[in-house]
Each structure stands twice: as structure tokens, then as C-alpha cells.
Amino acid sequence: MNAPAAAEIVVERLQKRFGRFVAVDEVSFEVGRGQILGFLGPNGAGKSTIIRILCGLLRPSAGSVRVDGIDVSRDPEAVRQRIGYMSQKFSLYADLTVAENLRFYGGIYGVRGAALGARLRHALDIAGLAGREQQLAGTLAGGWKQRLALGCAILHAPHILFLDEPTSGVDPLSRRRFWDLIHDLAAGGVSVIVSTHHMDEAEYCNRIALISQGRLIALGSPGELRRHALGGVLMRVEGHPLERLLERLRGFPATRDVAVFGNAVHVLLDAAAADDEAALRAFLAGQGVADVHVDRAEPSLEDVFVQLVGAQPREREAVR
Ligand SMILES: Nc1ncnc2c1ncn2[C@@H]1O[C@H](COP(=O)(O)OP(=O)(O)O)[C@@H](O)[C@H]1O
Ligand SMILES: [Mg+2]
């Protein structure tokens, strides 16, 4: 895995317990300058908890977290000044205008005077809200609200940004626009951690941290995850009837998993042997299933996600 050159965020063996419940379990990763790391995982995976710890809002139970060189446990206040944070249920003041909301956040971060004017224009510009300064935030459509919330989070020009499911409940076009903004910020050197449960958004990240039940179950670029995370070979088998094909494929010794995928069957095979295709064909012929088409398939991130999350044990163990 290509480790970032200058890591702005370094997380080592982070753990968070709520009573006996382990919400975050030995999670380690780094984020380099201008990188976008995506947290992908089901509800309750621990994404928000990790982000809140990184923001200095929640104390870790164990492990170490350095943000911009600062130990978050030692000096959470210094961290909070350096980062921008858009929480999952971000709060805008519905009865304040766009400009008033931005000014309010400027006040929180101590941005004043001439600097405030310049930052305000910059935030309006980034969020594409110029011309809407006097509109009440409560009357903005969903996608615009999200962009205003982002504008508020970057008002003090942080170079580290945490966005917790910023695109949830937003239409696809607004989601695309929002990702364009994130990319603009990253291109300007801002390091971003962004959580999502939209699989398609994973492709917009430089790297993805797949999180499930408090654990980091895969870490890498979208391409790396597609090619290596399954630790096996995915085959696409066409033939019919599909039910019989599915049944026979389950009996192939190297089969780890089978699933119907459109008009074909996707088979995940254990080892990456060069003659998998031929072996599979020969096996099926021996089973009386001829006239099949066998191909290697490139797994989608969804394949990877479903496989890795599905392979996890159901219950999280309590700490003894
Ligand atoms: N303050 C808390 N007290 C007890 N349990 C919590 C607390 N915050 C989160 N949890 C639990 O930790 C787990 C991870 O939550 P969260 O980080 O919000 O997940 P995600 O953001 O991935 O949906 C969940 O099971 C949640 O119920
Ligand atoms: Mg969450």
C-alpha cells in the first residue's frame, strides 16, 4: 500500500469502548497532505466515532491519534482550531441568512475583521453560494444546505477536513457537485476524511478504509481493493439453467462463494492459480454441464464490500 509521504493524520491502534462495548477496535491508518480517505461501512460500523475522536470531541480508550502533528488526547483544543468538521447532523441556523450562518461560524473560530470578509467571500465562492448571501438558510434546497455547511466548516481555512456522511439525503446531481468541491479542496492541499455509505462515492476517494463492526477490514485505493482485497479470483460463468449451474458450482472444491449476477453466476475461487478457468470448465464438464462460458471478472467495490463485510463474525465480543 503506498504510504503517504507527509502524513497529516496518523492513527495507531485506536480503540474506543463505550462501557464493555468496543465501538472502534485497533484501527490504524495514515492520511497524507491533499489526500481524500473515504470511510466506507454499514451503519454502526464506527465511522462517526473515529471521526469524532480525530476532531478531539471524544477521548480514545487506547491507541494514539496525531492530527497535524498534535496528539489529540493531549491537546484536543489545538486540534479543533486546525480542522474543519461537518457532522452527520450538521447544524445550520434556519432563521439566519447564508451570510449570517457563515459569520456565526467565523465567530466560533475567531476569524474577525478584514480576514472575515475575505474568508466569507472565499467560502461563498467555494460553496457556489455567491448571490445567495441574504437567503434564509432554512429556505435552501437540500444540496445547497450541504454546501453551506461545508462553507461553514472551511471558514477558518483549515487544511484538514472531516466530513461525516456529507451527502446523505442529497440527490445524485448535488452529490456529484459536492464531490467536485471536495476534489477542489484536496487539489489545494486540504487533507480530507469523508464517510459515506454510497458505494459509488468510493471511486471518488484516493483511498478507502472499509470499516465494519469497529474494525478496519481493508485499506487501499479503489483499484487495489478491487484487485487484491478479495484474496481470490472472481469468475463469471454463463450457462443455463442458472439454478443447476449455481448448484454444481457450489460443489467445486475451490469455490468460496457463488452468487447470481444478472444472467450469469459469479464464483469466488480460493487460490489464484493460472489454470482456474480450465479447471472449472473441466469440473463442470465432468458434472454434465457443458456449453458454459467461463471468464475472469473484475470485482466491483460492491463485490469486495459484500464479501468482506459478510465474512465477518456476527457478534462483536465484549472486552474482558
Ligand atoms: N456515546 C455512545 N455511547 C454508547 N454507544 C455508542 C456511542 N456512540 C456510538 N455508539 C455505538 O458505537 C457504534 C458505532 O457508532 P457510529 O460510530 O455512530 O457508527 P457509524 O457512524 O459507522 O454508523 C454503534 O453501535 C453505536 O450505537
Ligand atoms: Mg455515522
| 3-state secondary structure at position 289 | coil
Q: Do 24 and 170 belong together in one domain? A: yes
Ligand 1 atom nearest 214 alpha carbon: 14
For ligand 1, atom 4, name the residue with the nearest CA: 18
Ligand sitting nearest the alpha carbon of 43: 1
Residue range 282-294, pLDDT digits in tens: 999 998 888 899 9
Interval between CA 48 and ligand 1 midpoint (Å) = 7
Q: Do 23 and 139 belong together in one domain? A: yes
Please name the helix (run of DSSP H) or strand (run of DSSP E) that holds residue 32, with its range, or none: strand 21-32
Of 162, 196, 226, the residue that ends a domain is 226
Of 226, 257, 287, the residue that ends a domain is 226
Question: What are the grid coordinates assigned to 9, written together?
Answer: 493524520
Angle in degrees, 0-180, between the axes of helices 276-286 and 242-250, rounded to the nearest 10: 110
CATH number of the domain to which 216 belongs: 3.40.50.300
Res 316 pLDDT > 70: no
For ligand 1, atom 3, name the residue with the nearest CA: 18
Residue range 193-202, pLDDT digits in tens: 999 988 889 9
Domain count, the chain: 2
pLDDT band, residue 25 (cuts 50/70/90): very high
Interval between CA 219 and ligand 1 midpoint (Å) = 21
Res 204 pLDDT > 60: yes
- In a mutational test of the pocket of ligand 1, which residue from 40, 48, 49, 196 has the highest number of ligand atoms less than 8 Å from its CB? 49
Please name the helix (run of DSSP H) or strand (run of DSSP E) that holds residue 259, with its range, or none: strand 255-261
For ligand 1, atom 24, name the residue with the nearest CA: 44
Ligand sitting nearest the alpha carbon of 49: 1
Say what the pLDDT of residue 238 is: 94
Say what the pLDDT of residue 315 is: 57
Res 136 pLDDT > 80: yes
Percent of all residues in the chain with a pLDDT value above 90, rounded to a whole number = 65
CATH number of the domain to which 293 belongs: 3.30.70.100
Q: Is 147 a member of any domain? A: yes
Instruction: Report whether 150 contacts 122 (CB < 8 A).
Output: no
pLDDT band, residue 109 (cuts 50/70/90): confident
Q: Give CA–CA dist 80/4, Å, rounded.
A: 23
Ligand sitting nearest the alpha carbon of 23: 1
Q: Do 113 and 194 belong together in one domain? A: yes
**Domain range enclosing 177:** 7-226
Provide the residues around ligand 2 (an ion) whose CB is within 5 A.
Answer: 47-48, 88
Give the β-pairing of 255-261 and 83-86.
unpaired
